[in-house]
Chains A and B, each alone.
Chain A
Amino acid sequence: MAIKIKKNSDFTYLGVADLIDEKEKNRADDIYKTSEIEFNRLNQSLKNKKDISSLEFWHSIGRLANKIILDFGISDFEKKYFWLMLYDFSGKKAPDRALKFHIQNDFHIASMIAKYNLKDLRKTGPWATWHEIIGSTKTMKDERVGRWAVEYIINNQIKTRNNVRPILKFARNRLKNLNTLVLSDSELFSKLDEIKK
């Protein structure tokens, strides 16, 4: 299981094991080629669209990323490399924090918001607001935290960045010093739902 990434104009395969066999390389090549074609096509069509908002742009990117993940059965472990790979087709360099700590990756954030209705997302705020909601370290390490935040915000019809910030602050403080990955869904959500008390 591996993902192919461009590194200093050469390609490298990053995977679960240090040794990656030919079969895994072929699959990684396929993922790369398909993503390259599909993302270039999507970028082109989005460029031609007039007055497209950043939120709509990234929502479309996220939907395509999720489709490729599903089509190729990209595992949770491979995803962190997959998010980095997508920068190869964006013309932008991956930010240092995304490269080193696998957080604050625009494509990962886009994938998460693409699971929700664009109309609902728009009610809360633009891409920058959602980037802030999902881009925090805790949320990126455990997608369930992001999911909880998105659903809480949408369900409670919370609008504007200023109103969103106390919720993020609560989540950050409540989960401070906690490794949420060892918690079951109900354990995690019961801690986060303390916000209602």
Chain B
Amino acid sequence: MRLLGFANVPRLAGLTAAFSFAFIGGGGEGVAAQAGTVVGSVRDAVSQAPLPGAQVSIPGTELGGLANNVGRYLVLNVPPGQHTVRVDLIGYGSQELTVTIAAGGAATADFSIRQEALALEGVVVTGTAGQARRREVGNAISQIGSEDIQLTAITDMGDVLQGRTTGIQVNDHSGQVGAASQIRLRGNNSLTAGNNPLIYVDGVRIEGSPLGTDDEGAQTPSALDMINPNDIDRMEVIKGPAATTLYGTEASGGVIQIFTKRGVAGAPAWNFSMEQGVSVMPHQGPSADVNPSGLFLNTCRDPGILNHATGEIGVEEPGCPENNSWFRNAHHQVYNLSVRGGGETATYFVSGQYGDRKGVVDPQGADNYNVRANVSFQPVSGLDIRLNSHYARRNITWIPNGNNASGLYLNVLRGDAGYTPGNDDSLVLENDIFSHLDQYITGLAVYWSPNSLFSHRLNVGIDYTSSDFIDFKGWGFYEEATGDREIDQTFDRNLTFDYSGTFDYDPFSGISSSFSWGGQVYEEFSYGLNGFDELFAGPGEQVLGDGNNPQVFENRVTVRSGGFFVQEVLGFQDKLFLTGGVRWDGFSTFGEGFGIAAYPKFQASYLISDEDWFPVGWAETFKLRAAWGESGKAPGAFDAKRTYEATSADEQVPAVVIANLGNADLGPEVSSEIEYGVDASFFDGRVSVEFTRFDQTTRDALIGVQEAPSGGTEEATLYNLGEVKNWGIESVVNFVPVRTDDLEWHVGVNLTTNDSEITDLGPLEDLGTTRQLGYPLWIQWDDILQNPDAVGELPEYEKGYIGNLFPTQTVGLNTRLTLWHSLTVDVVGESQSGMVRPIGIAYQNVRRRVWPGDGCPGIQDIWYKDGDRSTLTAAEVARCIGPYSDQGVWTDPADFFKIRSASITYRLPEGLVPGARSAQVGISGKNLWTRTDYRGLDPEANDNGFGDATPNEYYNMAPPRVFILNFSVNF
């Protein structure tokens, strides 16, 4: 086997050096006075975008070079005569052109190459020991490239992942700018240890937990959203334990790895881009005929429309903004500037971004500043040193919302039944809520290939993220007349040390071997300070200590893990690849009696289309693959130890109470997975299919089991007792129905299913209502109406399973139409189905008689006034009469289809923008259309932020529609 990536490092570096030398210095005069040159460009056949880094060579010689940062190349010292010139680029099909060189002359060869449907020669690095070609890998791996990112309407990083590929579920929980999306890879498999994937940026693990807390705004930001999408070159996603084995403990929720852009040799190539956008909130709640004000949100002052709370004509909500709506058309602007270039031994990519995104409710919004510098050095042949650094700052202004008595939606939607004095809901906006976030990621990557047998990779990096959350209710605030202030400051430092080495050799003809080894040390340091004060003496921007009840709480934890692995890949005729490996992990949170965790893996990949007997014809590529592997999830910091926590009792007397009973034998929960599938392409790459079936079993799942409470303490002890099964399929079909010189139309359809079952909970039957033995992981278990059709009877309920809280089926649809190599229309749609969601707003508004939908006003008139109650069915009473209503009745199927993103991009004719190499304009939109029968504000809305596993809509803001006008120029 040959690891193309590692192999390429010295080779490409050498070629780059040769090329650069020639390109910059015009050298080689004495070498070949009779020789000629080949020049030209390498472009994408569809978009005509230049392709920096494409490798140009003249087969049979050692001549060649890389396309520079504007897609131009130059090959020097080409002997006179006829030559074949070849271009290769990962992810693209190769192309050869023939040129004739006269003595001392020059020839031009302009390449126009297409992306391959299945880029089997493409290199992946996520989940592999080093770099590997896709043909060698036995597990499914999803990639998202920079072109997809450029064509997507993006307001946060979750948008990048939505609808483009399989096995990824991304939900927008809130319309508040800065609220992070929830990401799940192949659903949920952990009962208690969390299901967020690990995220790496250029080999450095970054913080994956919610940043700080936001009880008041009911949403949380994420470190992932601090990354500038314009800096991304590509993303790799591996979804299950079969692929994440080499990441060991903590990786069973999958891994997302982001690779940022690198420099390419050549003169500085600048890019400037600008976005101007607007966010618009559509009509909210039940239809306009019964709810013309949109639950008092869209219209809070209009004398001529129905007030659903009073049944009278006329809406006049105190505190309503001057534009008669709580919403505004919110402007957003983003500016990017980047430059990439370099010389013989060093290249660079430097970028910066400023963004200012207003939210649809004043003063909500966020601004951000991002700076990145990626520098690569190739001081000697075979050695590539990369230093990637990134700093980002984000300032988010939240509005109080969600399950919050002083939240905006809770008070506006409830009309007079809210909590604000005189129903003046503008008072809640005097609550100042901010998140100030800083993120610094720096990583040093060293690739060293001292010879043809060995290659080494070392990644050392640090991710430092801090969050300064401020919740300030000043003196005179309606709810706390003397005010209060809460500060949550969190600092997370993630240190990654990751080494791997590979020894390649061919023991026999036609058989290749690649033996890899490596180790990883990871340390997470979390430090948090929570402060509170109240009873301020007077107005002004009071801080902690200015009040009469200052309190502070400190938390700091350091968790370390260390692991190493070995792996062997055997290749046969470069068609069949067998991989075996194991990773061993030690972890500071394991119990003293547990020892080391071991995670094995086996994979097979067989490119049967390379066999002689494979029928040549319409199917050009056919790869069978299978993978089995394990990875884990670690217990929490002190789960294994018996500990007490300090508290205060009585009149602030120091006291200790039991915190955890401990379990010295505690180890990780282990997820094992088998996945198998096929990758195939047909009809000259115009049709491609990827299909994967996966089955996961998470054993030794961490669950808290207490003794029967009569035995003493209520504290549960964590044991490795549970078991969860997950299974599903992932399939992608891409096809190009039309391909002409001037038009290319691409259509992609992907389908993901994901189901689960809790098969063992030790001695327990449930872990609360949302996790029950014999049911999927995370369900809604609530009161179910038993006598819906009974007339004149009160509702009768019985608790039971209502549905899954996470989708069991996701279908993505994307299509891209490119006309005349310059006009591109890109649309991404997605449906999610199979889940339910409690509509907290409807249930709570019904209890207050201010829900305009579902015929409730009429039913309430019958019940509360002079109607005949005996004419009502139990379902009507359950739905609309507060004392008999129930959240279970107000839990709906939350299936939906959304247009996630739509864009039209036009590349301006050359020369139109003076001094520019190229320029383009575009318009894009997000959340343009939603189809759902869900009766709440939005089927994806979740009151509890992205770390939460029990989504529930409870007075939180739905995602708005976003329209973006963008302009980009390269010079």
Do A and B come together as binding partners?
no
Q: Which residues of B contact A (CB under 8 A)?
A: none
Query: Hey, which bits of chain A sit against chain B, CB under 8 A?
Result: none
